Structure 1
Amino acid sequence: MGVSSAQFWSRYGNVPLQALAGTMEVSETDDDDVLFCAEDGGGVAGRGCHMDYLLAYAVAELLLSIHISLSNLLVLYVYLRKKDVRTVTNTYIFSLALTDFLAGCFGIPITIISVLTRRPQSFYGCLFVHLILCILCTISTFHMLAIAVDKYVTICCRDQLFRSRHSRAVFLIALSWVSGTLIATLPLFNFFGFAE
């Protein structure tokens, strides 16, 4: 009749969510609005236990979002205001900071809202909400790859691919945005049948 602290009940469809490792005993209930979290079958601690975890998650993500947004906003501000820092290398950093700023301002808050409200309920709606952050993180990773490729070509190939570093930077940054977006949106095509 008890539920261990290793698992919580979702209020939507009574679907158990694994929060911690371990096993559990499950008790059925008629109450659609219950979120159980009890210690070793010793009773029901109520909604507070589940909400404590959600609140801790939301606060941690919100602090991370604020830090990411402000630090990258500072990078964007300096790049736009100071002409002497607009080098080719800093162009990569600017684009990377823009991606991370968007993740901090939009991706993380939208994900927090989705987790807290458990909305949207449809597979593709839920997937799309979480893909916003996934797309931005993938683009960010591709920016770091572009920086590494630029440094490699600059050191080893000496202008064999492009005549100027500036045109190479524009090409690699555009490639980062396009390829990152395409790769991160692959789950929308449901190749593995998870939507069923």
Structure 2
Amino acid sequence: MESGGALNGSAAAGRFAAAGTAALGALMALLIAVTVAGNALVMLAFVADSSLRTQNNFFLLNLAISDFLVGAFCIPLYVPYVLTGRWIFGRSLCKLWLVVDYLLCTTSVFNIVLISYDRFLSVTRAVSPVMQGNTKQAVLKMVMVWVLAFLLYGPAIISWEYISGRSIIPTGECYAEFFYNWYFLMTASTLEFFTPFISVMFFNLSIYLNIQKRTKIRLDIFHEVHNQSFTEEMETTSATSLDAKEPLSTSSESSSKPKCSNKKSCRNSASTLSLEKRMRIVSQSMTQRFRLSRDKKVAKSLAIIVGIFGICWAPYTLLMIIRAGCHGHCISDFWYETSFWLLWINSAVNPVLYPLCHYSFRRAFIKLFCPKKLKIQPHDPLQNCWK
């Protein structure tokens, strides 16, 4: 993302040439291929499978679009810059590249916040995760993510040199004019990383605590109802036994107190009532267990996404702020460049999280690659497709 200023011209070119330009170029080509192919697959699955078109999955689609453009536009333009140590595409394309690069990476962050918030509502506020009727609302939120991401850096990249009256970018280099402005970077980082990261941590923790609370309540209710059912069954059995032993005395007693025709029918009636109550308890328990299982999977997938998000973004953000404060003298170029490459690696990793954490996406991928086996045994598509 905020990467152009990390390179130090000819020094970078010499270092990379000594280390093996061909190997570095091959790794970059591999990263581009994985990023483009993975996110293209997510978008294709969304288009091909209508069951994926829920509100939360629209946000996943928005994330895939931004990550796809990172691999298709941002990284390819940066590769020659890394390998040669010189920006060869001119100032106009430099600004366009910077605007798009900052925009896409910021959009990825905001999309993760939006995904986290939507799942937070679906778990803690009992809002259904399948919201087919809210397509327009989902699209509006997606557009707002792009607008806010552009406003955070776009105007500054475009107009900074005109407001300050001069440009500090040397010929042959490409980075933002505010690259060493500590105050601006601190403010932008707060909005781009610290606030979003704290938000998604809060959402994830709330989901976890909510699931723990509901699990405890479910177990308490189940034990209470089960004990009550057992007590009632014992009372019914006892009453049936006494009733069966009681002699048929007078006709007045027979008319005032209805009895079963025989001992066997009484026992069958009590057993039927007990069975119905048990079935009702089991049904309610299974429903609650299914909901909790679904919510646990939501929390698990969200925790994985948030964890990788933090690993990929925290080093860059911290090093960027420190580097700006000491004007690039206290952080080596190597570690800074490594940290911002993690941002682009995040765009390659995100598509892998979908098939691992979302059954709906796994099923859509299988539908694309082995539809015949999915039709043969739809109850176990994963085993049929990958064995």
Answer yes or no: same fold by TM over 0.5. yes
Q: Deviations over 1:118-174 (max 9, x none)?
A: 224766653433443222111111111111222334434969xxxx64444223211
Give 3-state SS (helix, strand or coil) of 1:190's partner: helix
Give the structure, 1 or 2, with the largest relative contact order (CA under 8 Å, sep 6 or more): 2
CA contact (8 A) 2:32 2:72 kept: yes
1:134 is matched with 102
1:58 is matched with 25
Q: CA deviation at 1:105?
A: 1.1
- Cα gap change, 1:80 to 1:158, in 2 (>3 Å): closer
1:190 is matched with 160
**Worse overlay, 64-73 or 81-90:** 81-90
CA contact (8 A) 1:99 1:136 kept: yes
Matched, 1:181 2:163: no
CA contact (8 A) 1:65 1:108 kept: yes
Q: CA deviation at 1:51?
A: 5.5
Q: What amino acid does structure 2 have at the position aligned with 1:183?
A: L
Q: What amino acid does structure 1 have at the position aligned with 2:41?
A: L
CA contact (8 A) 1:73 1:101 kept: yes
**Structure with more of its chain in helix, by fraction:** 2
- Cα gap change, 1:96 to 1:182, in 2 (>3 Å): same
State the number of aligned residues: 152
Give 3-state SS (helix, strand or coil) of 2:167's partner: coil
% same residue = 24
CA contact (8 A) 1:111 1:133 kept: no
Distance in 2 of aligned mates of 1:184 and 1:138: 9
- Cα gap change, 1:84 to 1:157, in 2 (>3 Å): closer
CA contact (8 A) 1:123 1:195 kept: no
CA contact (8 A) 1:150 1:168 kept: no
**TM-score normalised per structure 1:** 0.62
CA contact (8 A) 1:65 1:104 kept: yes
- Cα gap change, 1:72 to 1:115, in 2 (>3 Å): same
Structure 1: gaps of 5 or more residues: 1-7, 11-16, 20-34, 38-48
CA contact (8 A) 1:150 1:169 kept: no
CA contact (8 A) 1:135 1:184 kept: yes
Q: How does 1:47-86 map to 2 (within 5 A)?
A: 50=17, 52-86=19-53
Q: What amino acid does structure 2 have at the position aligned with 1:141?
A: V
Distance in 2 of aligned mates of 1:56 and 1:190: 37
Q: How does 1:153-168 map to 2 (within 5 A)?
A: 153-154=121-122, 155-156=124-125, 165-168=134-137
Q: How does 1:145-156 map to 2 (within 5 A)?
A: 145-154=113-122, 155-156=124-125
**Worse overlay, 65-74 or 116-125:** 116-125
Structure 2: gaps of 5 or more residues: 1-7, 169-387
1:143 is matched with 111
2:338 is matched with none
Q: How does 1:94-113 map to 2 (within 5 A)?
A: 94-113=61-80
Q: CA deviation at 1:190?
A: 2.0
Give 3-state SS (helix, strand or coil) of 1:64's partner: helix
Q: Give the number of the structure whose alpha-carbon radius of gyration is greater.
A: 2
- Cα gap change, 1:57 to 1:129, in 2 (>3 Å): farther
